[in-house]
């Protein structure tokens, strides 16, 4: 598949770039800044400039010609809840509208563990969960063939490719690298089509875990 990766300069996104480069897929990396695009192209990765705070049309141009979107972008912990609304919610939904507009059918979204369950939301980052919750809902209400991956606490350590994936999991954590492995493996795993699931570190190789989710 030709994959538009949104959030290619983020901590999960960088792993996704490397995995897609080494896969049968091709990647087009969407980034905000020319210097980010230059760095990617130096590595041999196609890059496109577009901003999630821009228009749907701007994002639709970036996605045009792709078969799938992977969304790993996030406003990050260093910005306020205004950016949470503008990027994590409205930015994500604009990219869904852009995908629909460009005729792209497949969309894989990185969300957050139990974003579907208000009772589990940590009060300290509750606004973030609200944004993820409604981005998920809008994707589920869209015409896209979606997979929503809801990872637990994100770790920087190297992954081992073994996870636990299920509709509802208790708190847990997972290396970003293993989240990246999961979203790439989900791209053409039919068992994950139009499904949402929690994801933490576990005992099962990613490909097998996705077949059982």
Q: Is the dihedral of CA 152, 154, 155, 158 positive or negative?
A: positive
**Smallest separation (angstroms) from its own copies to the CB of 83:** 8
CA–CA gap between residue 20 and residue 186 (Å, rounded): 12
Radius of gyration of the chain (CA): 16
Nearer to its own copies, 3 or 129 (CB): 129
Nearer to its own copies, 29 or 96 (CB): 96
CA–CA gap between residue 206 and residue 44 (Å, rounded): 27
In terms of Cα–Cα distance, which of 136, 178, 186 is closest to 153?
Answer: 178
Catalytic residues: 128
Nearer to its own copies, 81 or 205 (CB): 81
**Smallest separation (angstroms) from its own copies to the CB of 129:** 9
Contacting positions for its own copies (CB under 8 A): 55-56, 80-82, 84-86, 89-90, 93-94, 118, 126-127, 130-131, 133-134, 137-138, 141
**Smallest separation (angstroms) from its own copies to the CB of 90:** 5
Nearer to its own copies, 47 or 59 (CB): 59
In terms of Cα–Cα distance, which of 73, 1, 78 is closest to 30?
Answer: 73
**Smallest separation (angstroms) from its own copies to the CB of 127:** 4
Is 106 in contact with 66 (CB distance < 8 Å)? no
């Amino acid at each position: 598949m030709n994959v538009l990766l949104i959030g290619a300069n983020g901590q999960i996104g960088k792993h996704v770039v490397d995995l897609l480069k080494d896969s049968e897929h091709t990647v087009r990396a969407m980034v905000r800044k020319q210097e980010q695009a230059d760095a990617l192209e130096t590595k041999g990765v196609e890059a496109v400039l577009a901003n999630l705070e821009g228009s749907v049309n701007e994002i639709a141009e970036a996605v045009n010609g792709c078969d799938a979107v992977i969304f790993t972008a996030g406003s990050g912990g260093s910005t306020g809840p205004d950016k949470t609304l503008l990027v994590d919610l409205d930015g994500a939904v604009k990219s869904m509208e852009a995908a629909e507009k460009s005729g792209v059918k497949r969309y894989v979204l990185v969300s957050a563990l139990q974003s579907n369950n208000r009772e589990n939301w940590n009060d300290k980052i509750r606004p973030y969960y609200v944004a993820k919750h409604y981005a998920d809902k809008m994707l589920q209400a869209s015409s896209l063939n979606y997979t929503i991956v809801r990872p637990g606490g994100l770790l920087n350590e190297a992954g081992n490719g073994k996870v636990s994936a299920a509709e509802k999991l208790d708190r847990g954590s997972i290396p970003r690298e293993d989240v990246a492995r999961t979203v790439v493996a989900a791209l053409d795993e039919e068992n994950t089509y139009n499904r949402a699931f929690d994801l933490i570190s576990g005992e099962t190789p990613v490909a097998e875990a996705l077949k059982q989710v």
